[in-house]
């Protein structure tokens, strides 16, 4: 599949070392990426679109990787690298999917990540905004999984946010947020009410 935004001049799509595209778009997000390019050109800011649509599987991989990064120790998981996260696991006398426990552990490790489907966090965790969230909190899926969001990265997140602020007047941008390292991007959520979904 070829995207129109592959011809962008200043807001380019992320590619791997071998040149393969690292982002998945649909027609609506591809159109927004093209529209945004003109704002980046006008402001003279070069940036990279690093992430867009994430499937359930991609979200599970993100959760797995964060669990590995934090060396989470969970009695239900012998090897995080190879564990089948969709398998049921024993938890407080009931069976729940293993990802549910791993995702809850990642939250408690301080990484704000969405579950691959709406789910209740099994442990208490501290939100990125400082609030202590009790166990049992219901968390929805990511706006990336809903095909509503893109991430843009570059040398200056502040300059990128400045471009998005200008674009907000013309494009259906619902909100945007600077996410410092390790995400190191500006997360942009769109309203797709007038789109194809
Ligand atoms: Zn994002």
Rounded to the nearest angstrom, the distance between the alpha carbon of 95 and the centre of ligand 1 is: 31
Cα of 150 from ligand 1 centre, angstroms: 6
Q: Where are the domains of the chain?
A: 4-53+143-190, 56-139
Angle subtended at Cα 24 by Cα 176 and Cα 3, rounded to the nearest 5 degrees: 100
| pLDDT reported for residue 55 | 95
Distance from the CA of 59 to the center of ligand 1, in angstroms?
Answer: 12
Rounded Cα distance, 128 and 107, in Å: 10
Dist CA 128 CA 161 (whole Å): 19
130 CA from centroid of ligand 1 (Å)? 20
Q: What's the CA-to-centroid distance between 152 and ligand 1, angstroms?
A: 8
Collect residues with CB below 5 Å from ion ligand 1: 151, 187
Run of H or E residues at 108: helix 98-108
Residue 141, pLDDT score: 96
pLDDT in tens, the chain (197 residues): 799 999 999 999 999 999 999 999 999 999 999 999 999 999 999 999 999 999 999 999 999 999 999 999 988 888 999 999 999 999 889 999 999 999 999 999 999 899 999 999 999 999 988 999 999 999 999 999 999 999 999 999 999 999 999 999 999 999 999 998 878 999 999 998 654 44
> If you measure from the C-alpha of residue 94 to the centroid of ligand 1, how many angstroms do you get, rounded to a whole number?
33
Kindly calculate the radius of gyration of the chain based on its CA atoms and give it in whole angstroms.
18
- 148 Cα to the center of ligand 1, angstroms: 10
């Amino acid at each position: 599949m070829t995207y129109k935004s592959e011809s962008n001049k200043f807001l380019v799509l992320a590619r791997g070392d071998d040149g393969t595209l690292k982002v998945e778009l649909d027609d609506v997000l591809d159109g927004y990426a093209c529209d945004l390019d003109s704002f980046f050109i006008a402001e003279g800011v070069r940036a990279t679109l690093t992430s867009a649509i994430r499937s359930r599987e991609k979200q599970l991989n993100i959760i797995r990787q964060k669990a590995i990064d934090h060396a989470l120790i969970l009695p239900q998981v012998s090897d995080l690298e190879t564990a089948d996260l969709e398998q049921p696991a024993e938890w407080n006398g009931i069976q729940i999917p293993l990802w549910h426990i791993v995702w809850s552990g990642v939250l408690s490790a301080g990484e704000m990540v969405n579950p691959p489907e709406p789910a209740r966090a099994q442990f208490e965790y501290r939100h990125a905004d400082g609030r202590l969230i009790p166990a049992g909190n219901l968390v929805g899926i990511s706006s990336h999984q809903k095909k509503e969001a893109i991430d843009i990265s570059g040398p200056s997140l502040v300059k990128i946010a400045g471009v998005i602020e200008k674009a907000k007047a013309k494009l259906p941008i619902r909100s945007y947020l600077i996410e410092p390292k390790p995400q190191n991007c500006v997360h942009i959520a769109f309203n797709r009410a007038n789109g194809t979904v």
